[in-house]
């Protein structure tokens, strides 16, 4: 686990806050603010007002200030946010100041698409092992990894010690895959299988339900 | 556009509410409540309390009641929610009481994964045309559609009249694809390319940033 070290003095220590009180939508927006701060850095902009950030993210300025207030003092009244400092703060808060090793389970179309997804490495995630159950896939290559049998997951992760896993398998095998990931030491899982997953306390599963994204669009289409 | 007809009397008319006042996270949770109601129906449960729904969805009961309150009166104090009525209400509110035709652009790994994704048809979405720019893919088949050239999108959608599009193309061509979708009559777009997209007012784009999902997991891993 990345913990702040003594050299990180200019950055407020997020571990000093009560994280259980921070709403999940706030956490989700932090990622958007971080992307925005990085975009501002790329564009060579050193200071940005909350309304400039609002214009870029589509999240209103009051919400931005409220979200950031959970993590201490940011920005200077009348001047706005120092973009480099904001980027550094958010990177630390999100635990993105180190690269996360990730196990990928499923080397089908979705797994292959995820492995080739732009931006994982730049944003701090590295696939260190890939697993599948299909004998035709095992031994092949994906994301610069040799595809291993799912049965080898405990052995492989005894060496890799990855804490994150991505599940890109059919619905019917998702729970078994999650159980094996957890048994191998994984603590946080991104699940693309369209099914509910049960895990013990202390393990985080985030379900990405792609159809629900379409349902949200349907709502806006319906009410326009 | 699905509009409520005179026969839908038992269901409150969502168009009577001011949709611009409803927070986006509420809309996103409606999809979760609808999945929950459908699961309860599958399990043969006729009535459910808000705490039962909370246990299934992980969204607390007070939030559930607040979210639903935007759309009128639901549930009976002391008895809970009639599951069939809740499912019907949510289906209407989300505009899911008709099937939505969807154009898919991109027949690579992600497009293929999306096309074979479980549950689209059951949940009311039907891919009616697939487009790509790769001559090796054009003329092939995906989601029971013949893959057409992106240049044909206006001609094809003059017939299909689809209002929704899914963009599964590389970052650098995403804006061009969105422009062509909008020109062909599409109003709501789900974009998987990791880049910001500009559209005119009246067009909805929902960006699915898969890396930000990992960033949220990183936060929880970091703060555990």
- ipTM (interface pTM): 0.84
How far is the C-alpha of A110 from the C-alpha of A23, rounded, in Å? Answer: 30
Domains of chain B, by residue range, sit at 14-93, 100-211
H helices, E strands: number in chain B: 8, 9
> Is the Cβ pair B221, A188 closer than 8 Å?
yes
Tens-digit pLDDT profile for residues B147-186: 999 999 999 999 999 999 999 998 899 999 999 999 999 9
pLDDT of residue B209: 81
B198 at interface of A, judged by CB pairs closer than 8 A: no
pLDDT tens-digit map of B92-106: 999 999 999 999 999
Task: Please give the angle made by the CA atoms of B160, B13 and B37, to the nearest 5 degrees.
Answer: 80
CATH fold of A14-93 reads: Arc Repressor Mutant, subunit A (1.10.10)
**Does A100-211 match A14-93 at the fold level?**
no
Chain A CA closest to residue B187: A221
Q: Sorting pLDDT into bands at 50, 70 and 90, what band is B11? A: very low
CA distance B82 to B105: 40
Q: Do B222 and A187 touch (CB under 8 A)?
A: no
Q: Which residue of A has its CA nearest to B214?
A: A190
Tokens in use for B204? 């909805």
B217 to A164: CB separation less than 8 angstroms, yes or no? yes
CATH number corresponding to A100-211 = 3.40.50.720
Sign of CA dihedral B158, B163, B167, B172: positive
A16 Cβ contact partners less than 8 Å away, ≥ 6 residues apart: none
Q: Does A8 touch chain B (CB under 8 A)?
A: no
Chains A and B form CB pairs within 8 A to the count of 186
For B177-216, give one letter per residue: b (16+ CB within 10 A) or e: bbebbbebbbbbbbbbbbebbebeeebbbbbbbbbbbbbb
Between the alpha carbon of residue B77 and those of residues B34, B47, B73, the distances in Å are: 20, 12, 11
Structure tokens at A156: 């492989």
Q: Tell me the per-residue pLDDT of A79-109, one tens digit each, with 9 for 90 and over.
A: 899 999 999 999 999 999 999 999 999 999 9
Q: Is B85 exposed, middle or buried (0-12, 13-18, 19+ CB in 10 A)?
A: middle
Contact residues for A217 (Cβ-Cβ < 8 A; gap 6+): B164, B188, B189, B190, B204, B206
Q: Collapsing DSSP states into helix, strand and coil, what is residue B100?
A: strand
Please, which pLDDT band fits residue A18 given cuts at 50, 70 and 90? low
Question: DSSP 3-state assignment of B176?
Answer: helix
pLDDT at B19: 66
Residues of B in contact with A187 (CB under 8 A): 221, 224
> Is pLDDT of B122 > 90?
no
């Amino acid at each position: 686990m990345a913990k702040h070290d003594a050299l990180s003095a200019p950055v407020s220590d997020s571990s000093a806050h009560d994280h259980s009180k921070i709403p999940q939508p706030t956490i989700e927006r932090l990622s958007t603010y971080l992307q925005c701060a990085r975009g501002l850095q790329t564009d060579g902009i050193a200071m940005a007002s909350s309304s400039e950030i609002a214009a870029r993210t589509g999240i209103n300025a009051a919400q931005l200030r409220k979200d950031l207030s959970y993590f201490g003092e940011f920005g200077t009244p009348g001047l706005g946010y120092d973009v480099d400092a904001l980027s550094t703060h958010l990177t630390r808060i999100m635990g993105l100041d180190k690269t996360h090793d990730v196990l990928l389970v499923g080397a089908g179309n979705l797994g292959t698409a995820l492995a080739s997804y732009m931006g994982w490495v730049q944003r701090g995630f590295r696939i260190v092992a890939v697993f599948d159950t299909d004998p035709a896939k095992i031994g092949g290559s994906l994301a610069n990894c040799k595809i291993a049998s799912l049965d080898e997951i405990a052995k492989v992760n005894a060496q890799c010690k990855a804490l994150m896993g991505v599940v890109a398998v059919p619905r019917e095998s998702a729970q078994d895959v999650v159980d094996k990931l957890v048994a191998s030491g994984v603590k946080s899982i991104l699940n693309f299988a369209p099914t509910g997953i049960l895990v013990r306390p202390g393990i985080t599963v985030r379900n990405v339900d792609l159809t629900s994204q379409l349902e949200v669009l349907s709502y806006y289409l319906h009410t326009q």
